[in-house]
Amino acid sequence: MTAPTPAPLVDVRGLTVSFGGGAPVVSGLDLSVAPGESVALVGESGSGKSVTARALLGLADGGRGGGRARVTADAFRIAGHDLRGRDGRVAAPAGLWRRIRGGDVALVLQDALTSLDPLRPVGREIDDALRLHTRLSPTGRAARVRELLAAVGLSGDGTDTGALRPGALSGGMRQRALIAAGLSGAPKLLIADEPTTALDATVAARILDLLADLRAPADGSPAAGMGQLLISHDLAVVSRVAEKVLVMRAGEVVESGPTAEVLADPQHEYTRMLLAAVPAGKPRGTRLCLPGATGTTAPPPPAARATPPAPAPTPATAAGAAADPALEAAGLVKMFTRRDEAGRAVAFRAVDDVSFSLAAGTTLGIVGESGSGKTTTARMALGLTDPDAGRVDLFGAPFAGDRGDGHPVAEAARRPRRPQLGAVYQDPLSSFDPRMSVGALLADAVSGGRTRRAGAHRRRIGELLDMVGLDAGASARHPRSLSGGQRQRVAIARALAPGPRVLICDEPVSALDVSVQAQILDLLDDLQRDLGLSYLFISHDLAVVRHVSDQLLVMRGGRVVESGETEQVFSDPQEQYTRDLLAASPALRAAAPGD
């Protein structure tokens, strides 16, 4: 797409990285980034994309020396410096590396509070590169820090953001500060490693806009014509920003090319699988796993093999919406206290008058950003937290909260009915007793807690494992030794063990790679169809919720801002907030037939 560039900022061929003599984690990678160009490196966990980014700065081993990382290349030129030694190893004097780092090339890591020193004011972090790479006086540097803060949108309302420590900033502000720290050395190339992963959708969208702005400079922008290398696991993010994309798998680039081309006409099977797995824009009931495509973890469940892709909605979803609700909440309120700046305890409504109705055999999605009250709502529905007001009925009978006479439903009264209601969590591992094997977990669930010996219920455990697409051998293993997708399958199997009719799924796929996410979503779909389950499905990810839900609830600040039929909400949002969410939600621009 871009015109041939005279001097690429990154010109690397045949980059190979290995640790401690092991198999290479990156092998034979070719990469070039021209000034003003935005290139994306996309891949799932363990594909080697972050290591590649670091290797470009000589930090493959994290910069702690030790020499365990072995980095070789056929060509390795960064910002005009040839850093390839005679033996093919990438090597340079420490001083040269230090000039390149922060000066020619900036690396912006994903936030999660950890990429900024929690003990230093952010201004100092931004100042670092100025101190190291410019000859400005201290006052000059202070002025420059203010300019940079302004450039990333961190000035205004009078507070000196530079004097604050990261703990006092929101996630989005931290990411901006981090970008400012990267820009301060006036780099020719900005490498951003998962810059939006930890952020809420609306915030992430603004960060992406900022990155785009930096590259397409307005007047006085600090980094006109800056090249960008974007690292992400999220194809949707990439499709929004990058001109060129490289798809990585297991240390190798499987496909590369202009973004639009790759998305529109993926050549490699893996790219196709990735694209198919993205739920955005896939109608309810569409299978996300390509038949025959193998995931990175487990084979597709038997149900998936048996059932052809079924675009038609199931009978339940078509007609059951009005029929007797499986789970119904009315006027749920939950108060929490938090401390204000003066240290006083202040009550606030974490959940404020939330009502919903989940029809049997359907899925009700709840979507919202962090702090919107989704999880508290789920906890109240599960009878784990007593609501301060309102009630939850399960199949028409009070299950939690006000049981009708002003008193809350007692746990003892609820306990016999608990088998009807199961739960699946975001992090399956933390919901397992770490001392128990898969078999023990399932035996415990099947027997109602009477035994943990898998032998006692071998047949039923086998059935459950088969149902979630795991083989019977998994019974003897410990969840720790399983992959993320397999763990989530175990969690689902356990939730199914008592024979529930309603499952509450709280961010069940948020921690998973997109291909694994696709498998789990498909599995949930199959189970719903086969077992007639009802789901309360909670997620921050609009695309996922849209894909799985019949009905939708949008939450913000503890309140329901919008609800209704999923497609209706998406196609005709009534509230501004919903529209903002939709706008911020990255979608595959090139391959979104549903749009």
Partner 1 sequence: MKILRWLLTRLAGGLFVLWAVATLVFIGIRLVPGDPVEAIVGGPGSQAGPEAFALARAEYGLDEPLIVQYGLMLANLVRGDLGTSYSLKVPVAEAVSEQLPGTLALALLAWGLAWLLALSVALFTALATGPRLSRVADAAGSGLEIFAAAVPHFWLGSVLVLVFATSLGWLPPVATDSPAGLVLPVATLALPLAGFLGQVMRESLATALASPFALAARARGESETGVVLRHGLRHAALPGISLSGWALGSLISGAVVVEALFARGGLGRTLLSAVTLRDIPLVTGVVLVSALTYVVVMAAADVVERLVDPRLGTTTATRAAQPDLAAGGGRP
Partner 2 sequence: MSAPRTSSTGSRAGGRTRAAASSAASNLPAVAAAAVVLFLAAAVAAPGWLAPADPLGIEPAAAFSAPGPGHLLGTDESGRDIYTRIVHGARSSLTIGVAATGVGLGLALLLGVPAGLTAGRRGRRVHPRWVDASISRVLEVLFALPGLLLALVFIAFAGPGVTTTVVAVGLSTAPGYARIIRTQVLRLRDAEMVQAARVLGRSRTRILLGHLLPNALGPVAVLATLGVGQAVVWASALSFLGLGAPPPAPEWGAMLSAGRTYLSVAWWMTVFPGLAIVAVAASATVLGRWMQRRAEGVSA
Q: Which residues bind partner 1 (CB under 8 A)?
A: 54, 57, 59, 62-68, 94, 97-103, 106-107, 109-110, 112, 114-120, 125, 128-129, 132-133, 165, 167-168, 178, 181-182, 185, 338-339, 342-343
Q: Out of 4, 21, 156, 434, which residue is the one contacting partner 2 (CB under 8 A)?
A: 434
Q: Does 397 bind partner 2 (CB under 8 A)?
A: no
Q: Give the C-alpha separation, 35 to 38, whole Å.
A: 9
Pairing verdict, β 227-232 and 189-193: parallel
| Helices 484-496 and 438-446, axial angle in degrees (round to 10) | 20
The stretch among 203-211, 352-360, 444-452, 519-527 that binds partner 2 (CB under 8 A) is 444-452
Smallest distance from partner 2 to CB 434, Å? 6
The residue among 95 and 416 lying less far from partner 2, judged by its C-beta, is 416
Q: Which residue matches tokens 């006092």?
A: 168
Q: Give the C-alpha separation, 517 to 503, whole Å.
A: 18
One DSSP character per residue, 372-424 reads SSHHHHHHHHTTSS--SEEEEEETTEEEEEB-SSSSBPPHHHHGGGGGGEEEE
Q: Binding string to partner 2 for residues 327 to 356, with x set by CB under 8 A, is what? A: ---------xx-------------------
Among partner 2, partner 1, none, the one that 369 touches (CB under a kind-dependent 5 to 8 A) is none
Q: Does 510 bind partner 2 (CB under 8 A)?
A: yes
The residue among 433 and 471 lying less far from partner 2, judged by its C-beta, is 433
Is-contact 326 421, C-beta < 8 A? no
Among partner 1, partner 2, none, the one that 49 touches (CB under a kind-dependent 5 to 8 A) is partner 2
One-letter amino acid for residue 76 of the chain: F
Q: Does 37 bind partner 2 (CB under 8 A)?
A: no
Dihedrals phi, psi of 393, to nearest 5 degrees: -110, 140
The residue among 112 and 318 lying less far from partner 1, judged by its C-beta, is 112
Which residues have a Cβ under 8 Å from the Cβ of 433 and sit 6 or more positions away?
Answer: 441
In 435-526, the DSSP E strands lie at 502-506
Smallest distance from partner 1 to CB 253, Å? 23
Q: Does 51 bind partner 2 (CB under 8 A)?
A: yes
- 514-543: which residues touch partner 2 (CB under 8 A)? 540
Q: Give the C-alpha separation, 235 to 272, whole Å.
A: 12
The residue among 105 and 263 lying less far from partner 1, judged by its C-beta, is 105
Q: Does 406 bind partner 2 (CB under 8 A)?
A: no
For residues 37-46, one letter each, b for 16 or more C-beta atoms within 10 angstroms of the residue's C-beta and e for the rest, the string is bbbbbbbbee
Number of H helices, E strands in the chain: 20, 21
476's tokens: 């003897």
Q: Which residue matches tokens 């090139």?
A: 590
Q: Does 569 bind partner 2 (CB under 8 A)?
A: no
Among partner 1, partner 2, none, the one that 525 touches (CB under a kind-dependent 5 to 8 A) is none
Q: Does 167 bind partner 2 (CB under 8 A)?
A: no
Q: Out of 186, 211, 423, 505, which residue is the one contacting partner 2 (CB under 8 A)?
A: 423
SS3 19: strand
- CA nearest neighbour of 448 among 414, 508, 385, 494: 494
Cβ neighbour number for residue 146 with a 10 Å cutoff: 17
Q: Does 193 bind partner 2 (CB under 8 A)?
A: yes
Among partner 2, partner 1, none, the one that 182 touches (CB under a kind-dependent 5 to 8 A) is partner 1
One-letter amino acid for residue 565 of the chain: E
Q: Give the C-alpha separation, 193 to 233, whole Å.
A: 10
Dihedrals phi, psi of 553, to nearest 5 degrees: -125, 125
Smallest distance from partner 2 to CB 232, Å? 8
Q: Give the C-alpha separation, 228 to 133, whole Å.
A: 20
Q: Does 451 bind partner 2 (CB under 8 A)?
A: no
The stretch among 124-132, 294-302, 426-434, 522-530 that binds partner 2 (CB under 8 A) is 426-434
For residues 453-483, one letter each, b for 16 or more C-beta atoms within 10 angstroms of the residue's C-beta and e for the rest, the string is ebeebeeebbebbebbbbeeebbeebbeebb
- 231-250: which residues touch partner 2 (CB under 8 A)? 233
The residue among 148 and 378 lying less far from partner 2, judged by its C-beta, is 378
Among partner 2, partner 1, none, the one that 439 touches (CB under a kind-dependent 5 to 8 A) is none
Among partner 2, partner 1, none, the one that 198 touches (CB under a kind-dependent 5 to 8 A) is partner 2
Q: Does 432 bind partner 2 (CB under 8 A)?
A: yes
By CB under 8 A, name the binding residues for partner 2: 19-20, 45-47, 49-51, 61-62, 64, 66, 68, 109-110, 112-114, 193-194, 197-198, 233, 336-337, 379, 382-385, 411, 415-416, 418-419, 421-423, 425-427, 430-435, 444-445, 448-449, 480, 494, 498, 507, 510-511, 513, 540
